[in-house]
Structure 1
Amino acid sequence: MQWRDGVVLRQIREWPGAVEYAVSLAPATDPATEVRALAYTAMVGRPEPGDRVVLNASALLKGLGTGGLAFVVALPDRLPADAPDSPGHIVKARYTPQQQMFLAVDEQDSPHHHVLRDAESLDGMPVVVADLHSALPAIIAGVRLARPQARVAYVMTDGGALPLAFSRAVAGLREAGWIAATITVGQAFGGDHEAVSLHSGLLAARHVVDADVTVVVQGPGNVGTGTPWGYSGVAAAEALHAAHVLGGTSIAALRVSGADPRERHRGISHHSTTAYGKALLSPALVPVPAGGGQLAALVRSQAARLAERSRADLEVVEIGTDGVLEALRHTPVKLSTMGRGLDEDLAGFVVSAVAGVCAAQRVEPVSAR
């Protein structure tokens, strides 16, 4: 870790659980420089202009993309107020100086423990799994296009950011009513519900949140190494396994690009072909756009080859795209993937949206549950 002292200059913006500040680095460590710093208010309190702050500047100094800013570690001149006493003993970010204790939805003190103690099935609930966090708004746009009143739960895994508050997209989707509830699983934290495991998080989505559709995606900050297996999105296969084991309808959202300069990510990314073609062992639906131009045709042919070569039973499903572009243009949050917006990489968002449409088409009527 690379530590820096700073002084808060002003607040830039805030959303639930997080505040972004302009901070001046102390001259004792660096030439006076203004940087962006993020404070998670549940962890460090709420800095004010003029406060001295201790920063973790490692990602900032490395020039990383998604997480390339400083993080407030502490206000050394004053302690934040203690959180109110509450039940719960599940620790996340375990055995680190930043560990926190939560009431998990599945633990004994939870008011939902009796429900999850006996829950064994998702009752066919569609579960859409994607690689990149940026797919989330597009998937939900597709769900709402086909079923506007659907209750959508978001399950955030711990492959990327651990604090849910890091995602401005989730904050915007939650505020707009596009997400009924958020559930953070594993070491991820900060959702409306915490869960010890992905399996119990999925069961909570179905039986506590009463979701029609659940979307499982890691937090922002996908990690990749340019090697076949060294990327955090490979865990998408494990999420599909969990959905299948619990009796859900598993839907594998493809990672697709028509603009990525890296050949391995053009058309269907090697991340999807590895996760769904090599790591996945259980059945899943693979939605692809029907019609369209040359790139859509390429995606369909690549998906067919993926299904032929996969160790799992993959069913490629062609989904019509009527209304999809209009739905994507009216999301309550900005669409962006790997620094590219909707018009710069349309294919990726369209393929994510048709995964949402596919899920909505498979929601059972309430009377059938």
Structure 2
Amino acid sequence: MIRWRWGTVVAARREWRGSLELDVTVDARHPSDPPSVRALAYPALVGAPRPGDRVLLNLNALALGLGTGGYALVVAVPDRLPEDVEAPGHVVKARYTPLQAIVLAADEEASPLRGALAGAVSLDGMPVVVADLHSALPAVVAGALAARPGARIAYVMTDGGALPAWFSRTLDGLRPLLAGTVTTGQAFGGDLESTNVHSGLLAARHGLHADLAIVTQGPGNLGTGTSWGFSGVAAGEAVNAVAALGGRPVAAPRISDADPRPRHRGVSHHSLTAFGRVALAPASLVMPSDLSPALSSAVREALAALCPPHTLVEVPSADLGAALADLPVKLSTMGRTFEQDSAYFLSAAAAGRCAADMSATA
């Protein structure tokens, strides 16, 4: 199940919040092993490796060629273990794995937010954009801030993709634009921690004082190419959670005319399943009003089939290109840039605009 390898750190490369990228030579155990790799270390878990350190590596993601996981991962620096960190939390993430981590949940007794969250039961009508892929996050932020500059936006990260929020360079670059990040379920590394999406949404509203929130999985996406075998199913569950807590769900369907796979062109089958079959509560289902004629017709027909219970909302998006261009991070989805798949990013931005307009009237 795990490709264990020893390695030696040669040099440090990039560093961003919570992550350290390294060049590491590999002690080969198999003819296919590369002589050296890019490796990623999370200093909060394993310490900060230095050149010359011997490290224990997991080569699984690299060997499988995973698109968002082209790293070997540093599991330990066995000859120089980090010091113990005494912390008040008792919530365990990545439970019963060798790297289970203890964090302080925003609503547990030792948290400074305990008083604000202990009795919190409602989002007070806060709009929440729900999207499938992590790559939608910056576009939603751009659309929301274009409509309501200065809005407090919280990101609620689910555990369908990467578990450490630190993996995301996009999230690191967006930090100045966000009120904060809440990591939910088995995910960890956010500004606040929560046990599930429901408590994470409440933490976003009452802990980060968000005007609106965005829910997506972390970087990466698990899919088997079958109708139900994909991690984005959780987007439908998030819609239900928002509604159960008295929020206003805004569904951001995955729209593209550039994806080479037929099942993801127009409206992705992931969105049709998550919002059409898993989401039982009504949501505002957003599409741009100014897509190309052929794409617009196909998208409108697909989304109209989900209404009711949802309400189809068409939002202008063409003018949001400037807001997307001004983002401090690069836009990329499945390796495609804005120029290569503008419909995808403009659709996500339109959902952000819709939510921001709602928040102004909350």
Range class of TM-score, shorter chain: over 0.9
Whole-angstrom CA distance in 1 between matches of 2:324 and 2:342: 10
Whole-angstrom CA distance in 2 between matches of 1:229 and 1:292: 28
Whole-angstrom CA distance in 1 between matches of 2:305 and 2:187: 35
Residue matched to 2:167: 166
Whole-angstrom CA distance in 2 between matches of 1:32 and 1:293: 45
Report if the CA contact (8 A) 1:13-1:20 is conserved: yes
Structure 2 residue 28 is matched with structure 1 residue 36: no
- The one-letter code matched in structure 1 to 2:26 is L
Structure 2 residue 70 is matched with structure 1 residue 68: yes
- The one-letter code matched in structure 2 to 1:252 is A
Residue matched to 2:296: 296
Residue matched to 2:337: 341
Report if the CA contact (8 A) 2:58-2:75 is conserved: yes
Q: How far is the alpha carbon of 1:78 from its aligned partner?
A: 1.4
- The one-letter code matched in structure 1 to 2:246 is G
1:321-352 Cα deviation digits (max 9, x unpaired) = 25211111111100000010100111100100
- When residues 316 and 39 of structure 1 are mapped into structure 2, their CA distance, relative to the original with a 3 A threshold, is same
Structure 2 residue 325 is matched with structure 1 residue 329: yes
Residue matched to 1:130: 131
Report if the CA contact (8 A) 2:283-2:311 is conserved: yes
Residue matched to 2:59: 57
Q: How far is the alpha carbon of 1:298 from its aligned partner?
A: 2.5
Give me the TM-score of the superposition, normalised by structure 2.
Answer: 0.96
Give me the TM-score of the superposition, normalised by structure 1.
Answer: 0.95
Whole-angstrom CA distance in 1 between matches of 2:311 and 2:194: 30
Whole-angstrom CA distance in 2 between matches of 1:131 and 1:240: 11
Deviates more, 1:288-297 or 1:341-350: 288-297
Whole-angstrom CA distance in 1 between matches of 2:64 and 2:358: 44
Whole-angstrom CA distance in 2 between matches of 1:349 and 1:341: 9
Q: How far is the alpha carbon of 1:143 from its aligned partner?
A: 0.2
Q: How far is the alpha carbon of 1:151 from its aligned partner?
A: 0.5
Q: How far is the alpha carbon of 1:183 from its aligned partner?
A: 0.4
- The one-letter code matched in structure 2 to 1:92 is K
Q: How far is the alpha carbon of 1:113 from its aligned partner?
A: 1.3
Q: 1:45 aligns with which of 17, 28, 47?
A: 47
Deviates more, 1:320-329 or 1:71-80: 320-329
1:152-211 Cα deviation digits (max 9, x unpaired) = 00000111111000011000000xx11110000111000000011211110111111110
Whole-angstrom CA distance in 2 between matches of 1:26 and 1:293: 53
Whole-angstrom CA distance in 1 between matches of 2:161 and 2:41: 18
Where do 5+ consecutive residues of structure 2 fail to align? none
Structure 2 residue 234 is matched with structure 1 residue 235: yes
Q: How far is the alpha carbon of 1:240 from its aligned partner?
A: 0.6
Whole-angstrom CA distance in 1 between matches of 2:13 and 2:312: 45
Instruction: Return structure 1 stretches of 4+ with deviation > 3 angstroms.
Output: 27-32
1:276-320 Cα deviation digits (max 9, x unpaired) = 111111010011111332223332232112325xxxx10000101
- The one-letter code matched in structure 1 to 2:345 is F
Report if the CA contact (8 A) 1:26-1:32 is conserved: no
- The one-letter code matched in structure 2 to 1:148 is P
Whole-angstrom CA distance in 1 between matches of 2:125 and 2:307: 22
SS of the counterpart of 1:12? strand
Deviates more, 1:29-38 or 1:177-186: 29-38
Whole-angstrom CA distance in 1 between matches of 2:273 and 2:350: 21
Residue matched to 2:315: 319
Whole-angstrom CA distance in 2 between matches of 1:146 and 1:297: 26
Residue matched to 1:196: 195
1:206-233 Cα deviation digits (max 9, x unpaired) = 1111101100000011101110000000
Whole-angstrom CA distance in 2 between matches of 1:22 and 1:118: 48
Deviates more, 1:319-328 or 1:209-218: 319-328
Q: 2:84 aligns with which of 82, 85, 95?
A: 82
Deviates more, 1:239-248 or 1:115-124: 115-124
Whole-angstrom CA distance in 2 between matches of 1:270 and 1:126: 24
Whole-angstrom CA distance in 2 between matches of 1:32 and 1:357: 46
- The one-letter code matched in structure 2 to 1:139 is V
Where do 5+ consecutive residues of structure 1 fail to align? none
Deviates more, 1:109-118 or 1:215-224: 109-118
Q: How far is the alpha carbon of 1:27 from its aligned partner?
A: 4.4
- The one-letter code matched in structure 1 to 2:160 is G
Report if the CA contact (8 A) 1:237-1:280 is conserved: yes
Residue matched to 1:154: 155
Q: 2:350 aligns with which of 349, 354, 363?
A: 354
Q: How far is the alpha carbon of 1:21 from its aligned partner?
A: 0.7
What root-mean-square deviation, in Å, do the aligned CA atoms of Structure 1 and Structure 2 show? 1.3
- The one-letter code matched in structure 2 to 1:316 is L
Q: How far is the alpha carbon of 1:86 from its aligned partner?
A: 2.1
Alignment: residue pair count: 359
Residue matched to 1:282: 281
- The one-letter code matched in structure 1 to 2:325 is R
Whole-angstrom CA distance in 2 between matches of 1:196 and 1:292: 39
**Correspondences of 1:265-276 after superposition (within 5 Å):** 265-276=264-275
Report if the CA contact (8 A) 1:106-1:196 is conserved: no
